[in-house]
Amino acid sequence: MALLRRTATITVLVLCVLSLASSFSLKDFVKHRYHSLKDKLHIEDDVELPLEDYIRRLNYPLEVHKITTKDGYILTYHRVQARGGNIETGKPVIFLQHGLISSSDAWIVNREENAPAFVLANAGYDVWLGNSRGNFHSKEHTFLNPKDQKFWDFTWDEMVKYDLPAAFQYISYKTGRKINYIGHSQGTLTMFAALSHKTPEIEASLEKFIALAPIAFLHHLNHGLIGKINSFKFLEVLGENPLQEVYSYSKRYKSTLVLCKISPSTCNIATQLITGETTSCVDTSRLPYMRTHGPGGTSLKNVMHFEQMMHTPHKKLPMFDYGPEKNKEKYGSETPYEYPLHKISGVEIHFMQGDRDHLSNEKDLKELKQILGENIKSEKIYNLCHSSFNYGHNTNDYVSDIIKILSK
């Protein structure tokens, strides 16, 4: 417990230092000397570009699509195809869906030759990049304002019920093609849950499902601060009100670009403490890009749902637990509804795991594999961490295998 307290204290101190550096002395210093430092430290000119400008600067054709869900959230999707060309219809479709507190940027900001979205686009695919409700690309609504608490009243349950069906219906209509879905972490969780519901919009359009760092159970997660979150009630520090934004991107992060260039390990220390992953998991030269393109943000209620998953019964995947009284009102019973993963059938699923991934760990995956059974058509383990699927040096190892699977 003493170690946990020290870990939590260090994390808070690191975040405070970064925040203070962004707000005061470093901010003022960067204001006067930033351009000079960029030259001296060889910070690339495009590191501060918004995602859409960054994509266009690299000469990739881009379309921005707004998808409205049945409950009014307006999601921003990015469509990318091969460099130097135009957006064309008729190409095989890939839908990339990010993980928790991430965004479409995660598939783009690695080195161009290692960025999964660019590699797949250049291989001839019509690549659609999703953004879950509440991240910095999808903070619009038909009548709610992000400043309203009600806007943040969601978990991945609503992404399953509303976001994925809306996206599949929209992309299928626009392209006239079946969809190859590639999810990372939370992006796999939402698909597993949707498939258990036999969601018609998805079943009608899904071709293949490739699960990167698959997540469905978190019973054996105990690595890094996120793995200890239930041990010392870290969420209580954030407040009792779950209807608020957390891990949101701030432009103040740009002020830490100098720190990222001078000391990548220090720049990445908060991530290391939270996930248990070291800088060896990512291409440290891309840390400035990671800082200016994330985190994507989500609701505290969504993070609380992940915390609940850590202490649910084995092989169970429940919806958000409101407590007995409200559960009875919402679900008709004192316990939350459980997603019937055993009902998933007739789906071609491919697992891609990292042997250094402590979040998508082998013990939890073993339970999931037992339930999915013959739906899993292939499994492969790579020398990757959880974050390496987006930001690693050797992403082409698994991306080349994706291309082989999709070409069959």
In this model, does residue 386 exceed pLDDT 80?
Answer: yes
265-301: per-residue pLDDT in tens?
Answer: 666 665 565 556 767 888 888 878 887 887 899 999 9
Mean pLDDT lowest for which of 63-67, 177-181, 207-211, 250-254?
250-254
The predicted model scores a pTM of 0.86
Give the pair of three-digit tokens for residue 118. Answer: 């660019």
pLDDT of residue 131: 98
Cα–Cα distance for residue pair 66/73, rounded to 1 Å: 10
Q: Which residues are catalytic?
A: 185, 357, 386
The pLDDT of residue 237 is above 60: no
CB atoms within 10 A of CB 111: 14
pLDDT recorded at residue 12: 44
Of 1-5, 251-255, 308-312, 320-324, give the lowest mean pLDDT range.
Answer: 1-5
Nearest to 376 by CA among 398, 394, 349, 397: 349
pLDDT at 269: 60
pLDDT, tens digit, for every residue of 130-143?
Answer: 999 999 999 999 99
Q: Using alpha carbons, select from 182, 186, 194 the residue that is nearest to residue 295.
A: 186
For residue 236, is pLDDT > 80?
Answer: no
Among 100-104, 289-293, 367-371, the least confident range: 289-293
More confident residue, 266 or 342: 342
pLDDT of residue 23: 45
Q: What DSSP letter does each residue of 63-117 carry, written as one string?
A: EEEEEE-TTSEEEEEEEE-STTS---SSSPEEEEE--TT--GGGGTSS-TTT-HH
**Rounded mean pLDDT of 36-52?**
65
| Average confidence (pLDDT) over 151-168 | 98
Q: Is residue 37 predicted with pLDDT exceeding 80?
A: no
* Residues 371, 391: Cα–Cα separation, whole Å: 30
Residue 246 confidence (pLDDT)? 86
Residues 6+ apart with CB under 8 A from 309: 217, 218, 317, 318
The encoded tokens of residue 24 equal: 């005061």
pLDDT at 18: 43
Of 180, 176, 178, 132, nearest in space to 156 by CA: 132
Q: What percent of the chain has pLDDT over 70?
A: 76
pLDDT value at 260 more than 70: no
Q: Is the per-residue pLDDT at 151 higher than 60?
A: yes
pLDDT of residue 306: 92
For residue 211, the cross-strand partners are 183, 351
